[in-house]
């Protein structure tokens, strides 16, 4: 991975950071020190504008990949061969943590051409010693099953929406594990995939701009390696750090990329850092993901639901540990192959305690409070999934 000094050496020569205080003698000696906290943060829009306007500036040896466009339009990101090696090394650590090894035969079912995640997932599995088969998404469920019959994988890696669409039709032996990546994973998708593929799902968290971490066997948060990414939790509206354990915006600095350095990048995701060690015993820090920073949930048919109104209504009823996730599209280039199987889903999870009620009671309350939800459900444009959980939502 890049050292902090190497990262700042690249930053100083990158026009994106021309106006940042990185050209004088007072540079951070370590992430989080007073000089570090004087740096601004980088918004997604700033990075996207820079990469689209400056793609001619990147050296010809760079490879440009498109992001998946999960949160808006796809973005271009440049990588050198050395960048890709560092990302592959990190994905190799993910694979080893999950349990992928030389006995693994893996089927990586992801877009293989321009989308970064297909390439780096295959590289990571290879680093862990697996026999790896890359399969593109063309052809839909029938083609995926045929490829699977030929490969006979022990591990499958794909997006949650692809696996959830395939799950009802999957015919094959139980897998050793399933890896999901590339888009947010609903808890209901996790349960469906685990039931039909016969193996635990390990979710990975990362952006095209910065790969972050992976779940351990406890599967409640993402472990990350501090030499590859520095994670800060900041006030969503200010550049102000929040106390450890508080929920805020996840801000990322990558020690993986030298082509276009990613420094204090606002991910647009909300999360918090664990304050107690993970029960798995690993030393790497644990990051809990809570969803997007968006104030409104843009539901089907142009209906906007005010997230704070929804969460306020739930909290007024004693639901204080919540995870609200809206998934309106499959969020990946797999979308054309999922037309019939995908249902827009609003998923609400909460931690069960003395104040919480049965899901059916909560459903009636929510549909009374938010008539627009009832109408969308009636028209078949929304699945409302209510999932009480004993642990995990915090
Ligand atoms: Zn753990």
Q: How far is the CA of 168 from the centre of ligand 1 (A)?
A: 30
d(CA 131, CA 319): 46
Pairing relationship of beta strands 345-351 and 304-306 according to DSSP bridges:
unpaired
Q: How far is the CA of 201 from the centre of ligand 1 (A)?
A: 14
Task: Print the SS3 string covering the chain.
Answer: CCCHHHHHHHHHCCHHHCCCCCCCCCCCCCCCCHHHHCCCCECHHHHHHHHHHCHHHCCCCCEEEECCCCCCCCCEEEECHHHHHHHHHHHHHHHHHHCCCCCCEEEEECCCCCEHHHHHHHHHHHHCCCEEEEECCCCHHHHHHHHHHHHCCCEEEECHHHHHHHHHHCCCCCCCEEEECCCCCCHHHHHHHHHHHCCCEEEEEEECCEEEEEECCCCCCEEECCCCEEEEEECCCCCCECCCCCCEEEEEEECCCCCCCCCCEEEEEEEEECCCCCCCCCCCCEEEEEEECCCEEECHHHCEEEHHHHHHHHHHCCCCCEEEEEECCCCCCCHHHCCCCCCCEEEEEEECCCCCCCHHHHHHHHHHHCHHHHHHHHCCCCEEEEEEECCCCC
Question: Region 210-226: what's the mean pLDDT?
Answer: 95
Q: How far is the CA of 275 from the centre of ligand 1 (A)?
A: 13
Q: How far is the CA of 216 from the centre of ligand 1 (A)?
A: 5
Q: How far is the CA of 162 from the centre of ligand 1 (A)?
A: 26
Q: How far is the CA of 38 from the centre of ligand 1 (A)?
A: 32
How confident is the model over 40-84, as pLDDT tens digits? 999 888 887 777 667 666 666 666 666 655 555 667 788 888 998
* Confidence band, pLDDT 50/70/90 cuts, at residue 126: very high
Q: How far is the CA of 222 from the centre of ligand 1 (A)?
A: 8
Are 68 and 117 in contact by the 8 Å Cβ rule? The answer is yes
- Tell me the domain boundaries of the chain: 1-293, 294-389
How confident is the model over 238-289, as pLDDT tens digits? 999 999 999 999 999 999 999 899 999 999 999 999 999 999 999 999 999 9
Q: How far is the CA of 120 from the centre of ligand 1 (A)?
A: 23
The closest of 120, 94, 98 to 108, measured between CA atoms, is 120
pTM of the model: 0.91
| Per-residue confidence (pLDDT) for residue 137, from 0 to 100 | 87
d(CA 149, CA 126): 21
Q: How far is the CA of 390 from the centre of ligand 1 (A)?
A: 18
How confident is the model over 139-186, as pLDDT tens digits? 889 999 999 999 999 999 999 999 999 999 999 999 999 999 988 899
Q: How far is the CA of 138 from the centre of ligand 1 (A)?
A: 35
Q: How far is the CA of 257 from the centre of ligand 1 (A)?
A: 26
- Over pLDDT 70: what percentage of the chain? 90
Q: How far is the CA of 219 from the centre of ligand 1 (A)?
A: 7
CATH architecture of the domain with range 1-293: 3-Layer(aba) Sandwich (3.40)
CATH topology of domain 294-389: GMP Synthetase; Chain A, domain 3 (3.30.300)
Q: How far is the CA of 204 from the centre of ligand 1 (A)?
A: 13
Q: How far is the CA of 217 from the centre of ligand 1 (A)?
A: 6
Q: How far is the CA of 200 from the centre of ligand 1 (A)?
A: 14
Q: What is the mean pLDDT of the chain?
A: 89
């Amino acid at each position: 991975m890049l050292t902090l000094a190497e990262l700042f050496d690249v930053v100083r020569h990158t026009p994106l950071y021309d106006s940042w205080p990185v050209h004088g003698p007072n540079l951070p000696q370590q992430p989080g020190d007073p000089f570090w906290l004087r740096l601004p943060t980088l918004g997604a829009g700033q990075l996207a504008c820079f990469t689209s306007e400056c793609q001619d500036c990147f050296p010809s040896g760079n490879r440009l990949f498109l992001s998946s466009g999960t949160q808006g339009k796809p973005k271009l990101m440049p990588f050198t061969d050395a960048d890709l090696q560092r990302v592959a090394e990190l994905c190799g650590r993910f694979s080893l943590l999950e349990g992928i090894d030389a006995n693994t035969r893996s089927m990586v079912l992801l877009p293989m051409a321009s989308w970064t995640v297909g390439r780096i997932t295959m590289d990571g599995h290879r680093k862990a010693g697996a026999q790896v088969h890359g399969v593109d998404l063309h052809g839909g469920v029938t083609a995926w099953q045929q490829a699977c019959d030929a490969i006979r994988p022990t591990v499958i890696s794909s997006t949650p929406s692809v696996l959830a669409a395939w799950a009802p039709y999957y015919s094959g032996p139980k897998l050793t594990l399933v890896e999901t990546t590339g888009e947010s994973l609903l808890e209901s998708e996790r349960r469906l995939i685990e039931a039909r593929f016969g193996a635990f799902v390990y979710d990975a968290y990362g952006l095209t701009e910065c790969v972050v971490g992976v779940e351990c066997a406890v599967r409640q948060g993402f472990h990350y390696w501090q030499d590859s990414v520095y994670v800060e939790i900041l006030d969503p509206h200010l550049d102000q750090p929040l106390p450890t354990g508080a929920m805020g915006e996840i801000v990322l600095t990558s020690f993986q990329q030298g082509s276009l350095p990613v420094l204090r990048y606002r991910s647009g995701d909300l999360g918090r850092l664990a304050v107690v060690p993970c029960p798995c015993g690993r030393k790497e820090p644990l990051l809990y993901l809570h969803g997007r920073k968006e104030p409104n949930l843009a539901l089907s048919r142009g209906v906007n639901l005010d997230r704070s109104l929804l969460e306020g209504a739930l909290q007024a009823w004693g639901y204080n540990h919540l995870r609200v996730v809206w998934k309106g599209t499959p969020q990946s280039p797999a979308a054309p192959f999922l037309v019939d199987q995908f249902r827009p889903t609003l998923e609400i999870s909460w931690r069960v305690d003395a104040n919480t009620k049965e899901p059916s009671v909560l459903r009636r309350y929510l549909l009374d409070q938010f008539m627009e939800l009832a109408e969308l459900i009636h028209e078949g444009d929304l699945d409302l999934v209510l999932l009480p959980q004993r642990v995990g939502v915090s």
